[in-house]
Structure 1
Amino acid sequence: MYENFYGLQGKPFALSPDPKFFYASKGHRRAMAYLEYGVQQEEGFIVITGEVGAGKTTLVRSLFETLGTKPVRAAQLVSTQLDAENLLRSVCLAFGVQGTGNDKASQLRHMERFLLDTRSRGQRALLVVDEAQNLGMDAVEELRMLSNFQGIDGPLLQSFLLGQPEFRDILRSENMQQLRQRVIATYHLGPMDEGDTQAYVEHRLSRVGWEGTPHFATDIWPVIHEFTGGIPRKVNTLCDRLLLMGYLEERYDLDADEARRVMDEIEEDFGAQQEAPAPQPNGVVNGVFDPERAVANELTLVRLEDSYEAMEKRLDRIEHALAINYRQSQRILDALDSLNKISGFDHKEFARH
């Protein structure tokens, strides 16, 4: 939509995580260093926490991009409220381990065989658990038990745990002492400062061929940073709306006033929405836990980003149609204004009737 208007080769502020747009802010650079350190150590747990939208998933996907030349078989699990049994089944599915059956003993045997086969091929297994704060205590303990699988030359499975800040409270609890002893590094990914926020926006634009159009006035950056708090996902949402507004109004220069107008629209949109009812725990139907539904939901979440991309394409088509209607209507009104000046007749009033 606005991409063609500004001469961009793609959409710079999509919400779905994409390693192509990864920007190494000061915080993200530190977090990546911890993950790379964990890969080198080949054992233990690495814990990365951060607020919603801080860029944890994009961070991991960027790490996966660097693993292509390393003997690592990595799998990512987007966790929901799983118990220990369903977590084990989900881990098997994440690594592509099939035919495990429904009993835990069978699943553990298949998992151990997979890990041993992986090591025999000169590889090692890395499990990345996203949204770890949703795991129950027993599920976190199950992850620790999986780290007990040992080969001749050391542990067969390494885990990275990513979660929101409350996951740190889970780790501090008394019954998590054994897991804490296996955590080799932790890092909290905080928001970007104003300088990194500006660099982040310019970096994402440059990835789609930005050559200075639109131009951002210097007074816009503190406004963007204050509104978004330096959270990447919030920056993406604001800047996407800002460029859409610039396109609709044919503006090639964007400043703090335009940014504030978009902020007011966003706040009005969210203010008009009713608060959604609290969702039931994953796999719970009418108060009864259904393990099969929980696993099915887990797989749905793993594939969720694909639906994000499809949804964004549909929204692009809708926005494009609205923009065409808006600009055509504006041309008609401009033409009527010209006729009014020439003829002295109010064609707008006549058109209304």
Structure 2
Amino acid sequence: MYQHHFGLREMPFSLTPDTQFFFDSAGHREVFNTLVLALRHSEGFIKIVGEVGTGKTLLCRKLLASLGPEFISAYIPNPYLTPEELKGFLAQEIGVVPEPGTPAYQLLNDIYRRLLELAEQKRRVVLVVDEAQAMPRETIEALRLLTNLETEKSKLLQVVLLGQPELDDILNRADLRQLKQRIVFSETLRSIDRKTLPDYLAFRMQSAGHRGASPFSAGACGLLYRASGGVPRLINIMAHKSLLAAYGQGQKRVGHGSMAKAVLDTPESRVTGRWLAHRQYWLWPLLAGVSALALAGVPHWLGVSL
């Protein structure tokens, strides 16, 4: 596509959560540092909430990649599990191989003994649950009971919950108040602000191999922010489309017009951004045309010549 045109090794705005493209913004850095600090101090539950597209999965991948050998991590991308499936998954991740037909109480005991063994080896077990708002209520309760496994000094299992704001609504239920009380750290993942957006775009381009100044003009950045609200996923979608539009016109610079095309081609773009993009295509040309007609026609209507 446009990779050669812009001097890129790979696509800079892919939606795949690649840690190479983790942008160390102030908000994301604060949440990441909180996660690492909490895990190193063996806290129980940690909750990270963010709107759709704010980069929760990428943050999760970055965390897992940064944990040292003293950690054993178990990652659940799809938490729609039964309590039995949850225990079976955890058992597998920590090296417990139950016999077929093992009773639930025996499996729990095997998990406990294995966690104790790992603690004696100075190993820490972290269970990371992505899209936690989709976890059934019974499974959430089973997860809480698993975190009851502890020594006199520390938890044997730490849990990181990442989810959409609906996760807070779920945890506010009266029957889940015990779990909510165990959440030691709670953070919110914010969108990228207007001031940081050009740096984000430049970082993604450079990480993909681009050299030199960012191809995105100030006008394109302004329109992109209004159309995306700073949500990374929407930014990536429209930045990709704007590069395509610029490439199609043989341009090395992404201007307001190329970004307007990208915005109008993205149904999820914000209303304000779409209005500004529409203005690029029909309002300004229409006003210019009306003005030209008026200037050309007024003398004729008045019967005078200029």
Normalising by the smaller structure, the TM-score range is: 0.7 to 0.9
Matched with 1:221 is 221
Q: For the structure 1 residues 134 and 148, does the alpha-carbon distance in structure 2 shift closer, same or farther, using more than 3 Å as the test?
A: same
Matched with 2:236 is 236
Distance in 1 between the 2:186 and 2:85 partners? 26
SS of structure 2 residue aligned to 1:200: helix
Cα deviation code 1:243-266 (max 9, x no counterpart): 122223221111111101122122
Distance in 2 between the 1:256 and 1:117 partners? 60
Distance in 1 between the 2:185 and 2:56 partners? 16
Structure 2 counterpart of 1:262, one-letter code: A
Structure 2 counterpart of 1:249, one-letter code: Q
Judge conservation of contact 2:239–2:262 (CA < 8 Å) in 1.
Answer: no
Show the 5 A alignment for 1:115-194.
Answer: 115-151=115-151, 153-194=153-194
Q: TM-score, normalised by structure 2?
A: 0.81
Q: For the structure 1 residues 85 and 204, does the alpha-carbon distance in structure 2 shift closer, same or farther, using more than 3 Å as the test?
A: same
Identity of aligned residues (%): 33
Q: For the structure 1 residues 214 and 199, does the alpha-carbon distance in structure 2 shift closer, same or farther, using more than 3 Å as the test?
A: closer
SS of structure 2 residue aligned to 1:160: strand
Matched with 1:58 is 58
Q: For the structure 1 residues 265 and 96, does the alpha-carbon distance in structure 2 shift closer, same or farther, using more than 3 Å as the test?
A: farther
Greater share of residues in helix:
1
Q: TM-score, normalised by structure 1?
A: 0.71
Aligned residues: 268
Structure 2 counterpart of 1:37, one-letter code: L
Judge conservation of contact 1:100–1:110 (CA < 8 Å) in 2.
Answer: no
- Structure 1 gap ranges (5+): 270-353
Structure 2 counterpart of 1:147, one-letter code: T
Deviates more, 1:104-113 or 1:252-261: 104-113
Distance in 2 between the 1:85 and 1:165 partners? 26
Distance in 1 between the 2:51 and 2:189 partners? 8
Q: Which runs of 4+ in 1 moved over 4 A?
A: none
Judge conservation of contact 2:201–2:214 (CA < 8 Å) in 1.
Answer: no
Cα deviation code 1:36-60 (max 9, x no counterpart): 2211221211100001111111112
Judge conservation of contact 2:198–2:221 (CA < 8 Å) in 1.
Answer: yes
Matched with 2:76 is 77
Judge conservation of contact 1:71–1:122 (CA < 8 Å) in 2.
Answer: yes
Structure 2 counterpart of 1:133, one-letter code: Q
Structure 1 counterpart of 2:74, one-letter code: A
Distance in 1 between the 2:92 and 2:13 partners? 32
Cα deviation code 1:124-168 (max 9, x no counterpart): 101111110001111111111111112354211011100000000
Cα deviation code 1:172-205 (max 9, x no counterpart): 1111221122111101112111122221111111
Distance in 2 between the 1:104 and 1:189 partners? 37
Structure 2 counterpart of 1:78, one-letter code: P
Q: CA RMSD in A?
A: 2.1
SS of structure 1 residue aligned to 2:3: helix
Q: For the structure 1 residues 241 and 101, does the alpha-carbon distance in structure 2 shift closer, same or farther, using more than 3 Å as the test?
A: farther
